[in-house]
Amino acid sequence: MTRKLLLDTDPGCDDAAAIAFALGCDAVDTVGVTTVAGNSTVENTTENAIAVLEALDRPDVPVAKGCDRPLVKELTLAEHVHGDGGLYGELTQSGTAVDAHAVDFIIDQARRHGDDLTIAAVGPLTNVAVAIAREPALPNLVDDIYVMGGAAFEAGNATPVAEFNIYNDPEAASRVTQAAEPKIVGLDATNDATLPYDTVRELHDRNPRLEHVAKWCEYAPEIPATAERRDRPSLHDPAVVAAVVDDVVAFERHYTQIDTSGGLCEGQVVCDEPEVTGNPPNADIAVDIDASGFRDRLLDAYSNL
């Protein structure tokens, strides 16, 4: 049976690439896109989400605009990575978001689809945290909540220990981790979810829709290039879609907390790997990805667009 998928996102180039992945994948039916502030303002991420769907000839997928700032801290943008307005490429949008706020939309879809629904949150977790506060049963209503975020055992990309999405709203990430037992797909796996630039360039030649996808895939990487990744960008958010649709990501269960101290370690995903706290595991942490399998599934989905 086709899995229902709700994408909570802040487009963002790799967010747009993840939307394209989901739309081209036969294993999922994308029931909606909710937007949050992160890579750019929520006004921009909402316009970007609508423009991406229209560029991929899927204006039927509803977009719901969400939270415009983190729960506690000031908003940090990443337009230096994703381009002015949050998205490279010249896109226009004629449609509008639905009337419902993203938080209400998430709750409504969870109640409507129940455990047929998977939520993939690939931006800051503000919308999901507020939805759980409004409907505490949300994690039990849906099948799974996947999160793109964190650097449990790798270095961070926003600070030495924190990944951007979690660092952007650590209090929201803490709430989701405490309440939802999420599947956290962070830099430990997504750094290796790469697509060679030669392959990206080939996408440009296939059809006009894939020209847009290729631009999103070749965005400026937000982590310093290493020797083994200099010729291939990491596609963090598409890796989450791959984890939803197929068994390409390896997980370990750990007791996990998010640092909300406001200090140097703010936003760090802290896993009790040595099991010294005695607390039961509360999250599945991605520790590895089958990079070749990821690329195969990504390109298969893009070939369907």
List, as one string, the DSSP characters of the chain: -PEEEEEEE---HHHHHHHHHHHH-TTEEEEEEEE-SSSS-HHHHHHHHHHHHHHTT-TTS-EEE--SS-SSSPP---HHHH-GGG--S---------SS-HHHHHHHHHHHHGGGEEEEE-S-SHHHHHHHHH-TTHHHHSSEEEEE---SSS--SSSSS--HHHHHSHHHHHHHHHHH--EEE-HHHHTT-B--HHHHHHHHTT-HHHHHHHHHHTPPPSSPPPTTTTTS-B-HHHHHHHHHHSS-EEEEEE-EEE--SSSTTTT-EEE-TT--S-PPP-EEEEEEE-HHHHHHHHHHHHHT-
Active-site choice (82, 212, 236, 254)? 236
Tell me whether strands 183-185 and 63-65 are parallel, antiparallel or unpaired.
Answer: unpaired
* Interatomic CA distance for residues 61 and 12, integer angstroms: 18
Whose tokens are 């796996």? That residue is 189
Does residue 236 carry a catalytic annotation?
yes
* Interatomic CA distance for residues 276 and 167, integer angstroms: 25
CA distances 185 to 119, 189, 219, Å, are: 13, 7, 20
**Helices 13-24 and 291-303, axial angle in degrees (round to 10):** 70
Type of residue found at 299: L
Catalytic residues: 236
